Structure 1
Amino acid sequence: MSTEEDRLDDYALTRVPDEARVSWVSVAVQRFGQVSSFQQFLVGAVLGFGMDFKDAVIAITIGSVMLEIITILLGIAGVREGLSVSVLARWSGFGRKGSALVGMLIALSLAGWFGVQNGVFAQGMHDLAGGTPEWVWAIIGGAIITAITLYGFTIMAWTAYLTVPAFLFLAGYSIVDVLSDHSISALMSSAPPGPAMSLAEGTTLVSGAFILGALMTPDMTRFNRRPSDVVKQTLISVTLGEYLIGLTAVLLAHAAKSSDIVGIITSSSGVLGTLVLATAILKINDWNLYSSSLGLVNSIDVLFGRRVSRRAVTLIIGVAGTALSAVGIVDNFTDFLETIGVLAPPVAGVIIAEYFLVRRFRAELDQARERGTLPEGGADWMPLSLICWACGSLVGKYVDGGIPAINSVVTALVLYAVVGKLVVARRTPPIKEPRPPMVEVNMTKSGG
């Protein structure tokens, strides 16, 4: 059963109990805040710079459908078990020690992106305010995000209720201002202003931009009440986020004949454009920090046998990320973060394959869920998951055909499902048919 300490720590290492679950709208607003982030503006602008509107629609559609499938499956696992993705990984293919690697991957990746986006926020506010140095804005932005994340899911939900509508209103007003001198129909039929981008490249861009967000889906959906909530919020938030923000950015790139979405919005709209930038980053960066802290808490628990406070970990990561963004060092990590990003997609493939197909630990998970506890058993290491993880990463990195992020997920999923099924079948003893009962025959002759 959960304790007061678990509640204050946002159930970082335990199941989210029924009484802590919330309406699907509350989670959907936060999910939409992620998908309609400033990153989607960047992706859409790059698409618009190299593709016409029709091809951009196709690229966004293919990428979105693939992301929605992965997001829904991981989200359903999260809502059923009430566990963060790094804790869920203990019984979803990776084992205890393997889940620590998953937790560290998520922690490192998202903590890095927290710092990078905080740096973008500082740059935008400096360009607006002029005299105030960037490092001051970095400290201000990092402190605000860290304070929000310290209080966990509930305060983050209220932040999304405020920032998502503000972002949509400010972005809508700014976009109308930019596009007011252009014919929308002409922009939709115009040729791309930059070097041509293939459909495969465009789809890869869409899928790769949100794959890490898809992986951390259970961190969010563990607060949902039922699997149908996950389906509804994913279809609405991913579809609207990808199409509304992505296709708008495509039109902006065609109108400005540039992929520099920051310059397009801030230069034409001044204060308004900078506020768009600020609200866009604010409503996603708290989740970067939140999931990063959950991943690190799990890793410390597994590797050192110590339960540490999620809030303390959040504070440490927030201060470190803020400091790095303030001194500008974090900008040098972008290439590194993109490199380790190839490790994220196959993790999703392994978890989906184990949880829904191989189901080696589903009985233990089901029994423990009835008790409101965690399973007592489980392996420390599962070599198969590490092999599939490595194969998926290599395919995503070096195979040119298709979409790298999706290739990576599918490779890990199929390999783990096939081999995992064979291993489970070999280890499961055949069911023996019961022998018929022995019938004792009386051989004594009767007199006559």
Structure 2
Amino acid sequence: MNEKRKEKKSAEVNALKPILRKDRMSWVSMAFIQAGICVCVPSFLLGALLAESMTVWNAIISGTLGYVIVVAMMTILGHIGSDLGIATCTITQAGLGVKGARYIVSLVFAANLIGWFGINNNVCGAAFSNFCLEVLGLNIPIWVSSVLWGLIMLSTAVFGMSALEKLDKLSIPLLMVIMLVGTYLALSKFGLDGLNSAPEYSMSFLAGVGLSFNFYAIGAVAPSDFTRFQKTRKDVAKSTIWGVFPMGVFTLVLGILMTKLADNFDISMVLISIGLPTLGVLALVLSTWTTNSTNAYTAALNLTMAFNIPDNRRREVTAVAGIIGTVLGAVGILDHVEGLLSMMACIACPIGGIMLADYWIIGKGDPHNGLL
């Protein structure tokens, strides 16, 4: 009994070994984790980009269709993780070979995830420093706030899926309340007149659908990093549909509404602008935390594969990945490479196609065929 309790309390150790059935979680727990990944500043930014180029309804519909494609791809590819219990980088060995999986998939994915960890963390640190100065009268350098929050966010990633589950089950309901309250207050202050404003730029409907998908490209093709913790294919479908789709569309619509009404896509910044800085910073910290923890977690899986690190060093590798991202973000280097990070995400779609063809077409979706 004591050994079982100790095992449950300890941090997740292994990175790439198949997840045993007894160690997998319910679809509800996974849905919270999937929802946590969707809530971040870039999700609101997607709504802003669509709102600036389309009417409100076209922006909402095209963005929603993009998320439908994301959910469909995540479900199909996520079934592979559930069937085999292994991470995305391990799955790609079947189609690309060991070296291809190591140097094409793992290095690119790890660099992208570490980069976004640092960028998101620096945005959070800047907002926290500004909050401390304006509200508390404390002048905290941005790099100090970035390091502080980077270490805090990293702690949940180091402990693994059980910590991510607890974080998201606490944060997602709270974020929902904050965002709903913020939306109501913003509507009360700014009214609805801006909804009919003409778009500043022009974007086709299909381009809007593509943009919505591209914002979630890596998550769409690498769901197995998380669905390997699901017991059945049915659980994968339920956790993805109920986790990704509602929260993804919700943040998309908020980004569109806030851009049209308040001229700022980020609900946390809108809350600060209408005189509720505490709620605004809380929303920003929680949304960054839930996303960044998964960035560091999945980056560690890819680094373990890329550098052939012993599998039981997942915690140490996660810590190193997060520290690198935090330092690069704090010193400002990552501000100049956002475009490069976005381009790296374009590699994700062909990799997803390779996995889909290898497992579902060649292997006929049978986990016992020996292809992987």
Give how far 1:9 is off.
4.4
Identity of aligned residues (%): 27
Question: Aligned residue for 2:164?
Answer: 156
Give how far 1:39 is off.
1.9
1:112 and 2:115 are equivalent in the alignment = yes
Change (3 A) 1:196 1:261: farther
Structure 2 residue identity aligned to 1:321: G
Question: Aligned residue for 2:130?
Answer: 127
Question: Aligned residue for 2:207?
Answer: 201
Question: Aligned residue for 2:307?
Answer: 300
Question: Aligned residue for 2:357?
Answer: 353
Q: Secondary structure at the match of 1:366?
A: coil
The 10-residue stretch of structure 1 (204-213 or 36-45) with the greater mean CA deviation from structure 2: 36-45
Distance 1:25 1:76 in 2: 16
Please, what TM-score do these two structures have when normalized by structure 1? Answer: 0.75
Question: Aligned residue for 2:25?
Answer: 22
Pairing 1:212-361 to 2, within 5 Å after superposition: 212-259=218-265, 263-268=269-274, 269-301=276-308, 306-307=310-311, 309-359=313-363
Give how far 1:83 is off.
0.3
Change (3 A) 1:220 1:51: same
Change (3 A) 1:183 1:263: closer
Counterpart contact for 1:43–1:246, Cα < 8 Å: yes
Determine which structure has more spread, i.e. the larger CA radius of gyration: 1
Distance 1:292 1:80 in 2: 22
Give how far 1:233 is off.
1.6
Distance 1:260 1:64 in 2: 19
Q: Secondary structure at the match of 1:168?
A: helix
Change (3 A) 1:9 1:279: closer
Give how far 1:354 is off.
0.6
- 1:77-129 C-alpha deviation (Å, 9 max, x unpaired): 010100010111122x1121111121111111101110110011111111211
Give how far 1:183 is off.
4.8
Structure 2 residue identity aligned to 1:63: G
Distance 1:307 1:238 in 2: 29
Q: Secondary structure at the match of 2:215?
A: helix
1:97 and 2:99 are equivalent in the alignment = yes
Count of residue correspondences: 357
Q: Secondary structure at the match of 2:189?
A: coil
Give how far 1:11 is off.
3.6
Q: Secondary structure at the match of 1:46?
A: helix
Pairing 1:39-188 to 2, within 5 Å after superposition: 39-91=42-94, 93-101=95-103, 102-130=105-133, 131-184=139-192
Structure 2 residue identity aligned to 1:300: F
Give how far 1:216 is off.
2.2
Give how far 1:61 is off.
2.6
Distance 1:116 1:84 in 2: 25
Give how far 1:17 is off.
0.4
Task: Report 1 or 2 for greater relative contact order, CA contacts < 8 Å, sequence distance ≥ 6.
Answer: 2
- 1:344-380 C-alpha deviation (Å, 9 max, x unpaired): 11111110111100129x77x5177xxxxxx8xx7xx
Give how far 1:260 is off.
6.3
Distance 2:150 2:200 in 1: 35
Unpaired segments ≥5 residues, structure 2 = 1-6, 134-138
Distance 2:156 2:248 in 1: 26
Distance 1:8 1:275 in 2: 27
Give how far 1:187 is off.
5.4
- 1:238-278 C-alpha deviation (Å, 9 max, x unpaired): 22122211112211111124556664343223221121111
Give how far 1:60 is off.
1.5
Distance 2:155 2:177 in 1: 25
Give how far 1:322 is off.
1.3
Counterpart contact for 2:60–2:256, Cα < 8 Å: no
Counterpart contact for 2:82–2:232, Cα < 8 Å: yes
- 1:4-62 C-alpha deviation (Å, 9 max, x unpaired): 8xx95444121100110111000000101112333211111222222212101221132
Distance 2:115 2:202 in 1: 31
Change (3 A) 1:312 1:338: same
Instruction: Report the aligned-residue RMSD.
Output: 2.2
